[in-house]
């Protein structure tokens, strides 16, 4: 009974966005899968979020210094932007190019960094690495501000190679040597920020990227076998050509959009789960001259992606924003309560704008422990049980229009409404038994129908299956 086009669209929107309401899914499915993918890949073809309206209702967002306000701003965008893939890519890069508020100590700088990911995250990877390497927040976070001609700090130089572009190795080989790390770090000496931190004695003012030629090591360096008077930009130009970089980005895209991979430190020894798709993503990287959107097009239109439904554990932001988009809360209607909402990813173990380390969050099933699972279940169940919210009300009405249903039909139809969720046989049989115990459910009694349906939605939100996306 599940419409396969709607189910596929639900999958696409969960992965390439933050989910959608039932009525949106049906409208999008009618547009055709490939057309929707193209629209996602071309954010400029979609209307932008109404920034004026947002600023009018949330004037505190304007040049906000507080981290909480910047997180609210971001969560509001995730819930409301029509440019869903663009926002999802901002989250993607935030989870790889990790820099955290705990050290940066400025919500404003964190907000700027996310805005940079939003602007460049689907564009050319070379440009993105340049933006990253001139991001004041990143320069400070990885101590490049402490790296001088006469005293090199290798932190950024190393992480640029290890975590942001090439990875330690592939196919069991190593991608670069310790000497390459040193050369890379030397090439980035003089890449710094102003004013310095800590902000004694006058307090904080916004940072600017500052290149100081006098503090740059202009002597010859050998990087990946090539000798020259390399500066940071030369290094980036060499990095983006490397097969290791194509592989590294391809695996990250696969891990985020298709299926949970082994943790990054194991990638050198562990071949990709799906070498065929990874190969095609690498090819798209080169064919397009390092365009991320070209890789995404190959990925999102592949059967490998389309068939990978419910194979990933949702990250906390996906749980929170995806649930709200489905039920229609904080969408369109501007109202208080955003602060509370924006804290929920943190309660579930994902403190946005403050990843635990430069290596980011541990993802996949590691999102879940007994504390975070209680938060995830209660959050989703609370919202899916609110039958007066527009998204849920619509789901209830669609079910009621199907007429009288047997308990089996009722459970299947409810799961279908909740993002075409696949229930395992064990889970389904428990829910059917529960529906049977509650007795016959007539579609004629609107009030009782709504409350019984809301209750079933809550039970579905509480299933282990709902944790997957």
Partner 1 sequence: MAKDNVLAVLSLSGGNDGLNTVIPFTNGLYRDYRPNLGIPEDEMIPITNELAFNPHMAPLKKYWDEGKMAIFLGVGYPTPSYSHFRSMDIWHTCEPHEIGNEGWLGRVLKELDPDAENVLTGVNFGRGLPRALAKEGVPVASVGDLETYGLLTGIEGQDQRTQALDVFSKMYGSTIGSGYVMDYIRRTGTDALKGADVLAAAPAKYSSTVEYSDTPVGQYMKNIAQTHLAEFGTRVLYTTSPYNGFDTHATQAGNHTKLWKDVSYNVDAFMNDLREHNASDNVTLFMFSEFGRRIADNGSGTDHGAAGIAFAIGEQVKGGIYGEYPSLEPSKQEEGGNLKYNMDFRQIYTTIVEDVFGLNASPIVNGSFEKVAFL
Where does this chain bind partner 1 (CB under 8 A)? 100-105, 198, 200-201, 203, 260, 313, 343, 346-347, 349, 351, 354, 356-358, 362, 364-366, 368-375, 377-378, 381-382, 385, 424, 426-427, 430-431, 433-434, 437, 455, 458-459, 462-465, 467-468
Which residue from 92, 232, 90 is spatially nearest to 161, judged by alpha carbons? 232
N- to C-terminal Cα separation, the chain: 20
In this complex, which beta carbon is closest to partner 1, that of residue 243 or of residue 364?
Answer: 364
**Pair 23, 331: CB distance under 8 Å:** no
Q: Which ranges in 17-50 belong to alpha helices (H)? A: 22-31, 33-41
In this complex, which beta carbon is closest to partner 1, that of residue 335 or of residue 437?
Answer: 437
CB of 344 to partner 1, least distance (A): 9
CB of 370 to partner 1, least distance (A): 4
Q: What is the C-alpha to C-alpha distance for residues 213 and 215, in angstroms, rounded to an integer?
A: 5
Cβ neighbours of residue 122 under 8 Å, at least 6 residues apart?
41, 43, 85, 86, 89, 292, 293, 296
In this complex, which beta carbon is closest to partner 1, that of residue 134 or of residue 463?
Answer: 463
Helices 22-31, 33-41: axis angle to 10 degrees equals: 100
**Pair 110, 70: CB distance under 8 Å:** yes
CB of 102 to partner 1, least distance (A): 4
CA angle, 18 as apex, 17 and 19 as ends, to 5°? 95
CB of 342 to partner 1, least distance (A): 12
Pairing of strands 173-174, 191-194: unpaired
CB of 292 to partner 1, least distance (A): 27
Pairing of strands 208-211, 191-194: antiparallel
In this complex, which beta carbon is closest to partner 1, that of residue 382 or of residue 404?
Answer: 382
In this complex, which beta carbon is closest to partner 1, that of residue 286 or of residue 339?
Answer: 339
CB of 373 to partner 1, least distance (A): 5
In this complex, which beta carbon is closest to partner 1, that of residue 249 or of residue 348?
Answer: 348
Q: Is 332 helix (H, G, I), strand (E, B) or coil?
A: coil
Which residue from 370, 369, 352 is spatially nearest to 361, judged by alpha carbons? 352
Which two three-digit tokens encode residue 147?
A: 């790296």
In this complex, which beta carbon is closest to partner 1, that of residue 60 or of residue 102?
Answer: 102
Q: DSSP per residue over 129-184, as a string?
A: HHHHHT-HHHHHHTTGGG-BTTB---HHHHHHHHTTTS-SEETTEES--HHHHHHH
In this complex, which beta carbon is closest to partner 1, that of residue 130 or of residue 468?
Answer: 468
In this complex, which beta carbon is closest to partner 1, that of residue 171 or of residue 366?
Answer: 366
CB of 63 to partner 1, least distance (A): 19
CB of 447 to partner 1, least distance (A): 14
Beta bridge partners of 208: 194
Which residue from 16, 128, 114, 141 is spatially nearest to 352, judged by alpha carbons? 114
CB of 411 to partner 1, least distance (A): 11
Q: What is the C-alpha to C-alpha distance for residues 122 and 135, in angstroms, rounded to an integer?
A: 17
- Cis upstream peptide for 195 (omega within 30°): yes
Phi and psi, residue 343, nearest 5°: -85, -15
Q: How many CA atoms lie within 13 A of 247 on its CB side?
A: 20
Which two three-digit tokens encode residue 149?
A: 């001609």
CB of 429 to partner 1, least distance (A): 9
In this complex, which beta carbon is closest to partner 1, that of residue 203 or of residue 275?
Answer: 203
Tokens 């396969």 map to which residue? Answer: 4
In this complex, which beta carbon is closest to partner 1, that of residue 27 or of residue 366?
Answer: 366
Strand spans (E) along 157-305: 169-170, 173-174, 191-194, 208-211, 221-223, 226-228
CB of 316 to partner 1, least distance (A): 10
In this complex, which beta carbon is closest to partner 1, that of residue 276 or of residue 426?
Answer: 426
CB of 424 to partner 1, least distance (A): 6
């Amino acid at each position: 009974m599940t419409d396969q086009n709607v189910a596929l669209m639900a999958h696409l929107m969960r992965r390439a966005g933050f989910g959608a309401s039932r009525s949106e899914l049906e409208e999008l499915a009618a547009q055709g899968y490939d057309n929707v993918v193209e629209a996602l890949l071309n954010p400029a073809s979609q209307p932008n979020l109404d920034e004026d309206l947002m600023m009018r209702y949330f004037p505190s967002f304007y040049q906000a210094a507080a981290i909480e306000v910047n997180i609210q701003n971001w969560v509001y965008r995730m819930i409301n932007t029509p440019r869903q893939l663009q926002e999802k890519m901002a989250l993607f890069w935030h989870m790889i190019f990790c820099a955290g508020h705990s050290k940066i100590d400025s919500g404003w700088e964190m907000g700027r960094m996310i805005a940079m990911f939003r602007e460049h995250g689907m564009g050319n990877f070379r440009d993105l690495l340049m933006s990253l390497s001139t991001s004041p927040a990143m320069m400070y976070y990885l101590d490049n501000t402490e790296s001088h001609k006469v005293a090199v700090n290798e932190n950024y130089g190393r992480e640029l190679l290890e975590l942001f572009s090439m990875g330690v190795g592939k196919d069991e080989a190593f991608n670069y040597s310790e000497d390459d790390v040193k050369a890379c770090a030397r090439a980035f000496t003089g890449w710094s920020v102003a004013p310095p931190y800590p902000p004694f004695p006058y307090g904080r003012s916004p940072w600017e990227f500052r290149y100081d030629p006098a503090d740059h090591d202009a002597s010859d360096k050998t990087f990946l076998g090539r000798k020259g008077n390399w500066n940071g930009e030369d290094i980036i130009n060499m990095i983006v050509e490397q097969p290791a970089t194509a592989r590294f980005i391809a695996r990250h895209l696969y891990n985020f959009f298709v299926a949970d991979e082994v943790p990054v430190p194991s990638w050198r020894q562990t071949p990709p789960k799906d070498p065929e798709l990874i190969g095609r993503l690498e090819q798209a990287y080169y064919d397009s001259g390092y365009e991320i959107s070209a890789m995404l097009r190959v990925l999102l239109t592949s059967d490998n992606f389309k068939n990978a439904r419910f194979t990933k554990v949702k990250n906390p932001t996906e749980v929170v924003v995806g649930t709200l988009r489905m039920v229609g809360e904080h969408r369109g209607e501007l109202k208080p309560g955003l602060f509370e909402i924006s804290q929920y990813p943190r309660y579930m173990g994902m403190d946005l704008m403050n990843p635990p380390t430069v290596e980011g969050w541990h993802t996949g099933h590691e999102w879940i422990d007994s504390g975070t699972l209680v938060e995830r279940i209660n959050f989703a169940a609370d919202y899916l049980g609110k039958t007066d919210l527009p998204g849920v009300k619509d789901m209830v009405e669609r079910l009621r229009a199907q007429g009288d249903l047997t308990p089996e039909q009722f459970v299947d139809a409810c799961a279908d409404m909740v993002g075409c969720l696949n229930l395992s046989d064990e889970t389904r049989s428990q829910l059917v038994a529960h529906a049977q115990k509650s007795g016959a459910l007539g579609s004629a009694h609107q009030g009782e129908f709504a409350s019984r349906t809301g209750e079933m939605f809550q039970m579905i939100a509480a299933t282990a299956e709902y944790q997957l996306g």
